[in-house]
Amino acid sequence: MQPQAQAGASSPIPINSPRNFAAYAGDMMAFMVGLNFIPTSTVLVALASQLTDNSILIGIVGMIGGAAWFLPQLFAARIVHGKRRKKPYLIASAAIGRQAYLLIAIWLFVTGAVQPILTVFILIASIAVFHISDALAGVAWFDMLSRALTPRMRSRAIAAGEFAGSLLGIGAGIIVARILAPNGLPFPINYAVIITCAWLCFDISFLFLLILQENPMDEAERSLSTESQFRGHLADALRSDKTFRKLIVARLLTGLDAMVVPFYIVFITDLLQLPAVSVGVFTIAYTVGSILGIILFGGLADRFGSLRVIQASVVMQFLGPLLALLVAAIPAISTEAPGFAMGLFIIIMGLNGALSHSMLLGFVGYALDTSPERHRAMYVGVINTVGGIVSLTPVLAGVIIESLSKSAPLQAAYAVVFGIATVCVGAGMILSFRLPRPAHPS
């Protein structure tokens, strides 16, 4: 028998209803297609590098999306904590945020990016508004999801949406490659068109949000999770839940791969003097990796649970900076075998594409599986806030690169930051394999 919703007579919506399953999957599908048009580590960083050669500014473009989404999560969790209905917060936030990329697209169309530095800052602002709004929407979304679908059906809905989005994302990658080709659209109209395509997909995603049906928190649970008790509940969780503390540290260490992700494309294109069309090649590799990743992580989540997703993903997080380190630390690879170096970075971008599907099914899924029901939003908020902390590290990497490149070869500066990321992620990988297995109800 299907478990019934625990929201009382005022909420007759059953757990695992087909409408909610389809709405969550459709939302994920459209959202993923949008993201596949503008991956931060390829398209947006490439746009920034066309506008400036300042590594710090490029690092900010690479990190602002993650920082703007992750850092407000704890604040967002406090806002929705104890609220009986979360959907109004979801819809209001998404309605604002989904329009943000339209700003930079219009700016590129109208001005032609004649003021490149100003354009970079408008790009940063657009990315920030989109992700800050989505942070509040995301906390409400996760809480609603956990009440609407059981863990297994939750994994299936996310996997189905992300898989369909990734398949369609191949088309997005092909479109991006065609637009950025030498005989494609001129700069910056090419990037304006790509960003507009992403904006349209995000608005389609918003339409799916409108048809979600919510199972509100029942009054008994609500009385135990009022907003005024948020700090006390958070302090108690951090003090008494050893697994939660271990999860936070593992997320912090493994998330430090974020410090180098924005520099992969900049490093390899500069090192091998690759043309702009290569960004499309890397975007396709990212998208193919996304498809393989959702097959892998979706299957692991469905059969073995969120812990196995974490363990598989952290190994892949470790391989990315390690492979980049090999190319940066051994000059002979790029000088004597440039095709091999290019191939390694295609693999790295494929790994990054796969990892883009690991968080919801891995660390976030584990937090949902192991948290008390009334504190789910709080646990997710903490985990995502930790992600915000590590998402700031590309700026640190940019500072290190800028500083070291003044007294050492640029390739050596990249080797240092790739090496730091490899060591940190490796430590987090070891800790991740020591997390206890959570209950995994069907």
pTM over 0.85: no
Residue 348 pLDDT class (50, 70, 90 cuts): very high
Range of the domain at 36: 18-432
Query: Structural domain tally of the chain?
Result: 1
Residue 61 pLDDT class (50, 70, 90 cuts): confident
DSSP string, 234-266: HHHHHHH-HHHHHHHHHHHHHGGGGGTTTHHHH
343, part of any domain? yes
13, part of any domain? no
350, part of any domain? yes
C-beta of residue 114 within 8 angstroms of C-beta of residue 187: no
How far apart (Å, rounded) are the C-alpha atoms in residues 436 and 379? Answer: 17
171, part of any domain? yes
C-beta of residue 317 within 8 angstroms of C-beta of residue 181: no
How far apart (Å, rounded) are the C-alpha atoms in residues 8 and 215? Answer: 9
pLDDT at residue number 8 = 40
Smallest CA-to-CA distance from 42 within 189, 194, 201 is with 194
Q: What is the CATH number of the domain that holds 334?
A: 1.20.1250.20
- Residue 206 above 90 pLDDT? yes
Residue 160 pLDDT class (50, 70, 90 cuts): confident
